[in-house]
Amino acid sequence: MCKQTRRWNNVCRFLSALFVVFITSFSVSADASPSEMTMEEIEVLLTSKSFSDKEAGVKQLVASDLPVTTTLLNGLMNKQVVYHKKDKSMWFLAKPPLKKGSVLTNLGSGDTVTVKKKRQYRAVTLNNRMRTQIKTALATLALTSVDLDAKRAGAKRLLGQVDHDLVPVISELLVTESDAVTKSYLAAAVAITQLDEQTSVETRLSAIDQLETSGLAEAYEALKAEKAQTTDATPETIQRAFDSAIANYEETQRVVDITQTLYFGLSLGSVLVLAGIGLAITFGVMGVINMAHGELIMIGAYTTYVMQLLLPEYTGIALILSIPAAFIVSGLVGVAIERSVIRHLYGRPLETLLATFGISLILQQAVRSIFSPLNRSVSTPEFMSGMIEVTPMLQLTTSRMYIIIFCLMVFFALLFVLKRTSLGLQVRAVSQNRPMARAMGVRSQWVDMATFGLGSGIAGVAGVALSQLTNVGPNMGQAYIIDSFMVVVFGGVGNLWGTLAAGLSLGVFNKILEPWAGAVLAKILVLVFIILFIQKRPKGLFPQRGRMAED
């Protein structure tokens, strides 16, 4: 009896242990993390006829760690997710609408199929509750991204797209968000939703104040749209708030427009300074009218193009290396021009003009023969791409900022050479009084060659900068030769500070005239202004003193 009792107790213990193991495994299986669900399990829920199953599928998809979550959610909203009616396999349609010949992709396996019969597939349908669920999920996913740019882009996409159901979700994210830019986008998105008459007067006034200070174009459009819908029944305080917010935004926008015009003018002026500063040296020291100066700029731009061909994977390094390379190549070409042609024509400006014009045609044809007549595009490095966001209303182009900084660096480097080196001392001596410099033992011919090479090298450096703003082609130098002479003459022949002041002021003047006069007429007006100015001051803004002995 005891043996039977003992045996029975052992059986009971075994059954109890087995039951515990079963219950535990069932509990673990039932409480499994959604992130452990496979794409196939989610497909089963999303292709179900029951909207409850589909909602569960969306919930599981959002909670999963699948890399295609955002793509699939957007596809559901845009009717790009379809399934086969027989085997219930789910596919993604990249180019809707669905038709015969459409290519479908399985986001789980990556397999593709071509639609032979359209009726074999059907889009995954949604109801309004699911659409709200997906919109909330997309907003949450975008705003919880680790990538700051993606988070800001996701927050900005919410402007004007948030309904009242999403306001609590966005408000919760506002409390925990640390990035100021993202937070401003979220606050504006909530405020736009709160402008309508469904909210209280206090909430609407607070939303108007929020949008007035946001500086966002979407906020301004929302204020104008809601203002247009006001009626006589709208409280007077709301109407005054709308009028005040719109007026303040427009006033701020005018200030921003002026700032952007000045910025674009300074960037254009920097290009003019870079194009003209080399000419200012050769023309000021040697009195040579170099019509091939534009082609020396072109050679610098083509040097940048060649450097990127040699280093296609490293555009930033290629651009940096192009600066000394362009200086050397253009400088050597300039030295060759001076030694072979110009040194025989000193004191005969008309002959130098005609000779250098012929050289410019030769250089253009040489480039056409080597690189073809087609324009070439030079890639902009990643660090020069994009915009600098000063405020939501004021955004500045990064590449133009680099051009301005680069112009100042070249200017002060050249100023250092002319003021602090022996070459600069000899250049200044020859430019101020050539016979006296010769009498003091300065080799004027060597100075002429070095000066012409220096000016040509700087023209090549200007070509590196211009390659980031325009296409590189055989005729690109012709567009800047006239502007270069205008800058030199307006600023004062041979004066670097005059060249800087003239280039920047002409660039700003040109950009101020363009909005109402047009680009062509603006250039004509600038040229007329310079002609009238030279009539009054023939030696420019900052004339060179004692340039010749007879002065």
Specify the 3-state DSSP secondary structure of 94: coil
Buried b (16+ CB within 10 A) or exposed e, 241-266: bbeebbeebeebeeebeeebeebbbb
Instruction: Considering the domain delimited by 256-536, tell me its CATH architecture.
Output: Orthogonal Bundle (1.10)
Rounded to whole angstroms, the Cα distance separating 462 from 454 reads 12
pLDDT of residue 366: 92
Neighbours of 351 (CB within 10 A): 15
| Distances in whole angstroms, Cα of residue 318 to Cα of each of 12, 214, 329, 410, 458 | 80, 40, 15, 19, 18
Global model pTM greater than 0.75: no
Is the pLDDT confidence value at 544 over 70? no
What's the whole-number mean pLDDT along residues 405-414?
A: 91
Minimum mean pLDDT range among 162-166, 186-190, 457-461: 162-166
Helix (H) or strand (E) run with residue 121 in it = strand 121-123
Is the pLDDT confidence value at 175 over 90? no
Helix (H) or strand (E) run with residue 322 in it = helix 315-340
| Distances in whole angstroms, Cα of residue 311 to Cα of each of 307, 320, 325 | 6, 11, 14
Is the pLDDT confidence value at 550 over 70? no
Helix (H) or strand (E) run with residue 527 in it = helix 519-536
Provide the H-helix boundaries in 118-200: 128-143, 148-157, 167-176, 180-193
DSSP string, 329-397: HHHHHHHHHHHHTGGGSTT-HHHHHHHHHHHHHHHHHHHHHHH-SS-B--PPPGGG-SEEESSSS-EEE
Using one digit for the tens of pLDDT, what is the confidence trace for 177-204?
878 888 888 888 888 888 877 778 888 8
Tokens of 519: 């680009």
Strand ranges of the sheet holding 112-114, from the earlier edge strand across to the other edge: 112-114, 103-105, 90-93, 81-84, 121-123
Tokens of 173: 């994210």
Of 124, 134, 84, the C-alpha closest to 104 is 84
* Cis peptide bond prior to 67, omega within 30° of 0: no
AA letter at 89: S
Rounded to whole angstroms, the Cα distance separating 318 from 482 reads 30
Residue 23 or 237, more confident: 237
Pairing of strands 387-389, 103-105: unpaired
Split at pLDDT 50, 70, 90, the class of 3 is: very low
pLDDT of residue 332: 94
Residues 6+ apart with CB under 8 A from 549: 433, 434, 435, 436
Residues 6+ apart with CB under 8 A from 374: 473
| Number of helices followed by number of strands (H, E) in the chain | 21, 7
Using one digit for the tens of pLDDT, what is the confidence trace for 116-141?
888 888 888 888 888 877 877 777 77
Using one digit for the tens of pLDDT, what is the confidence trace for 299-315?
999 999 999 999 888 88
Rounded to whole angstroms, the Cα distance separating 499 from 322 reads 24
Would you kindly state where each structural domain of the chain is located, as residue ranges? Answer: 34-128, 144-234, 256-536
Is the pLDDT confidence value at 346 over 90? no
